[in-house]
Structure 1
Amino acid sequence: MPTSPLQRGVWFNEQVAALGPAYTVAVTADLRGPLDVGRLARACTALATRHPLLTAGCHNLDGLPWLAVDEHPLTLTVEPVTDGTLRGRVERATRTRFDLSAGPLARVWWFAPAHDRGVLVLAAHHLIVDGRSKDVLLRDLADCYGHDAPATAAHPAGPDGPTDPGEPTDPGDHGEPAGPGAHQPSEDLVVAAAEYWWRNPPRPVELPRDGGARPGDRVVRTLTPRTRTLLATAAVALAATRFELLLTVLTCCLAPADGPTSIALELSTRTPAEAGRIGMYVNELPFTLPTPPAGPYAAALATVRTGLRQLYAHRTVPLAMCRPGTRPFLATAAVSVSYRRIAPGPVFPGLTTTVDWSPFNGVARNALHVMIADGEQTRVTFQFPASTGARRRAGTLIDHVLAGLDRSLAAPESPVVRPSQEPPPWT
Structure 2
Amino acid sequence: MPDELLDEDGAEHYLSFSVLFHGDLDTAALDRARGAVLRRHPVLTRGRLFRSVLQPVGPRAHRLLVVASRRVFDERSVDVFVSDLAASYRAEVLRVDPGLPELPPAGSEEPRITAALPLARRYWADHPVDGELRLPGPSGPVRGVRDGGPLEVRTAGRLRDALHDVAEHIGVTPFVLLVASVHAVLFRYGNTAPATALDFDTRAPGEHARIGALVTELPFSSAPRGGTAFAEFARQVGAGLRALHRVRDVPPARVGEEPGPAPVRLAYRRWASAPRFPGVVATVDRGPRAAPVRHALDIAVLDGPDGIEATFRHPPASLTGDGVRGIARHWLSVLSHVATAPDTVLAGLPLPGPEEEENRLLAAHHGTAAGRPRVTVPELFAEQVARRPDAVAVVHEDRRLTYAELDAAATRVAARLRGKGVGPGDLVALRAGRTELLPAGLLGVLKAGAAYLPLDPEYPAERLEFIVADSRAAWELGDADLMAAVEDPAPSGPTTAPPAAPSTSTPTSRAPSACPSPPASASPDDLAYVIYTSGSTGRPKGVRIEHGSLVNLLLSMRDLLDSRPGDRWLAAASAAFDMSVPEFFLPLVTGGTVVMADGTRTRDGAALRELVDRARVTHMQATPTGWAMLLDAGFTGPGITAVTGGEALPLALARRLRPRVGRLVNLYGPTEATVWSTADEIGPDPERVTIGRPLANTRAYVLDGRLSPVPVGGSGDLYLAGAGLARGYLGRPELDRERFLPDPFGPPGSRMYRTGDQARRLDDGRLDFLGRTDGQVKLRGYRIELGEIESRLLAVPGVVQAAAAVRGDRLVGYVVGGADPGDLRRALAASLPAYMVPEAFVALGSLPVTPHGKLDRPALPSPPEPAPAAGAGRGEDVVESVRRIWCEVLRVPEVGDTEDLFDLGGHSVTVARISARILDRLGVEVPLDAFFDAPTVQGLATVVAGLRTGP
Please report the TM-score for the alignment, with normalisation by the length of structure 2: 0.33
**What's the counterpart of residue 43 of structure 1?**
33
- 2:169 & 2:30 partners in 1: Cα distance? 46
Query: Is the 2:337–2:350 Cα contact (8 Å) retained in structure 1?
Result: no
RMSD: 3.4
Say which of 248, 252, 259 aligns to 1:315.
248
Matched, 1:405 2:335: yes
Shift of 1:115: 3.4
- 2:352 & 2:75 partners in 1: Cα distance? 30
Q: Give secondary structure in 2 for the equivalent of 1:264.
A: strand
Distance 1:187 1:113, change over 3 A: closer
Matched, 1:136 2:89: no
**What's the counterpart of residue 204 of structure 1?**
131
State the one-letter code of the partner of 2:331.
V
Query: Is the 2:156–2:308 Cα contact (8 Å) retained in structure 1?
Result: no
Shift of 1:119: 2.9
State the one-letter code of the partner of 2:84.
D
- 1:320 & 1:248 partners in 2: Cα distance? 26
State the one-letter code of the partner of 1:312.
H
**What's the counterpart of residue 259 of structure 1?**
192
- 2:311 & 2:270 partners in 1: Cα distance? 17
**What's the counterpart of residue 75 of structure 1?**
none
Query: Is the 2:33–2:88 Cα contact (8 Å) retained in structure 1?
Result: yes
**What's the counterpart of residue 371 of structure 2?**
none
Distance 1:401 1:338, change over 3 A: same
State the one-letter code of the partner of 2:87.
D
Shift of 1:318: 0.7
Shift of 1:409: 2.1
Matched, 1:306 2:239: yes
Q: Give secondary structure in 2 for the equivalent of 1:231.
A: helix
Say which of 143, 153, 161 aligns to 1:221.
153
**What's the counterpart of residue 230 of structure 1?**
162
Larger Rg: 2
| Structure with higher RCO (Cα < 8 A, 6+ apart) | 1
Shift of 1:134: 0.8
Of 312-321 and 231-240, deviating more is 231-240
- 2:257 & 2:167 partners in 1: Cα distance? 39
- For 1:119-162, what per-residue CA distance to the aligned partner results, in whole angstroms no more than 9, with x for missing partners? 32222122212221111101111222233389899543777xxx
**What's the counterpart of residue 268 of structure 2?**
339
Query: Is the 2:20–2:64 Cα contact (8 Å) retained in structure 1?
Result: yes
- For 1:171-230, what per-residue CA distance to the aligned partner results, in whole angstroms no more than 9, with x for missing partners? xxxxxx42xxx46434341122112111222223589888x5323532333432211221
Query: Is the 1:110–1:119 Cα contact (8 Å) retained in structure 2?
Result: yes
**What's the counterpart of residue 809 of structure 2?**
none
Query: Is the 2:142–2:296 Cα contact (8 Å) retained in structure 1?
Result: no
- 1:352 & 1:333 partners in 2: Cα distance? 42
- 1:44 & 1:20 partners in 2: Cα distance? 25
Shift of 1:352: 2.1
**What's the counterpart of residue 356 of structure 1?**
285
Query: Is the 2:267–2:300 Cα contact (8 Å) retained in structure 1?
Result: yes
Query: Is the 1:344–1:376 Cα contact (8 Å) retained in structure 2?
Result: no
**What's the counterpart of residue 71 of structure 2?**
127
Shift of 1:288: 1.4
State the one-letter code of the partner of 1:307.
G
State the one-letter code of the partner of 1:202.
V
State the one-letter code of the partner of 2:279.
G
Say which of 173, 177, 182 aligns to 1:241.
173
Aligned length: 336
- 1:342 & 1:27 partners in 2: Cα distance? 14
Query: Is the 2:301–2:311 Cα contact (8 Å) retained in structure 1?
Result: no
**What's the counterpart of residue 103 of structure 2?**
156
- 2:19 & 2:322 partners in 1: Cα distance? 29
Q: How does 1:406-421 map to 2 (within 5 A)?
A: 406-416=336-346, 417=349, 421=353
Shift of 1:422: 6.0
Shift of 1:322: 0.8
State the one-letter code of the partner of 2:342.
P
- 1:419 & 1:113 partners in 2: Cα distance? 47
Q: Give secondary structure in 2 for the equivalent of 1:143.
A: helix
- 1:319 & 1:404 partners in 2: Cα distance? 32
Query: Is the 2:229–2:343 Cα contact (8 Å) retained in structure 1?
Result: yes
**What's the counterpart of residue 24 of structure 1?**
14
Query: Is the 1:50–1:151 Cα contact (8 Å) retained in structure 2?
Result: no
Q: Give secondary structure in 1 for the equivalent of 2:37.
A: helix
Q: Give secondary structure in 1 for the equivalent of 2:71.
A: coil
State the one-letter code of the partner of 1:44.
R
**What's the counterpart of residue 536 of structure 2?**
none
Query: Is the 1:370–1:381 Cα contact (8 Å) retained in structure 2?
Result: yes
- 1:129 & 1:200 partners in 2: Cα distance? 30
- For 1:91-117, what per-residue CA distance to the aligned partner results, in whole angstroms no more than 9, with x for missing partners? xxxxxxxxxxxxx11111233332322
Distance 1:198 1:25, change over 3 A: same
Distance 1:189 1:355, change over 3 A: same
**What's the counterpart of residue 739 of structure 2?**
none
State the one-letter code of the partner of 2:55.
F
Q: Give secondary structure in 2 for the equivalent of 1:407.
A: helix
Distance 1:222 1:158, change over 3 A: farther
Matched, 1:277 2:210: yes
Unaligned runs of 5+ in 1: 1-13, 58-103, 160-176
Q: Give secondary structure in 1 for the equivalent of 2:273.
A: coil
- 1:324 & 1:295 partners in 2: Cα distance? 32
- 1:120 & 1:398 partners in 2: Cα distance? 34
- 2:160 & 2:312 partners in 1: Cα distance? 22
Distance 1:121 1:322, change over 3 A: same
Query: Is the 1:393–1:422 Cα contact (8 Å) retained in structure 2?
Result: no
- 2:311 & 2:52 partners in 1: Cα distance? 27
Query: Is the 2:38–2:44 Cα contact (8 Å) retained in structure 1?
Result: yes
- 1:358 & 1:40 partners in 2: Cα distance? 21
**What's the counterpart of residue 221 of structure 2?**
288
Of 139-148 and 392-401, deviating more is 392-401
Of 39-48 and 150-159, deviating more is 150-159
- For 1:276-317, what per-residue CA distance to the aligned partner results, in whole angstroms no more than 9, with x for missing partners? 111222221111132452442123213322322222221111
Q: Give secondary structure in 2 for the equivalent of 1:202.
A: coil
Distance 1:420 1:25, change over 3 A: farther
Matched, 1:394 2:332: no
State the one-letter code of the partner of 1:372.
V
State the one-letter code of the partner of 1:359.
P
Distance 1:347 1:37, change over 3 A: same
Please report the TM-score for the alignment, with normalisation by the length of structure 1: 0.69
Shift of 1:253: 1.4
- 2:102 & 2:81 partners in 1: Cα distance? 11
Distance 1:122 1:216, change over 3 A: farther
Query: Is the 1:263–1:289 Cα contact (8 Å) retained in structure 2?
Result: no
Identity across the alignment (%):
27
- 1:322 & 1:422 partners in 2: Cα distance? 43
Query: Is the 2:13–2:291 Cα contact (8 Å) retained in structure 1?
Result: no
- 1:251 & 1:258 partners in 2: Cα distance? 9
- 1:407 & 1:227 partners in 2: Cα distance? 10
- 1:403 & 1:209 partners in 2: Cα distance? 27
Query: Is the 1:145–1:348 Cα contact (8 Å) retained in structure 2?
Result: yes
**What's the counterpart of residue 164 of structure 1?**
none
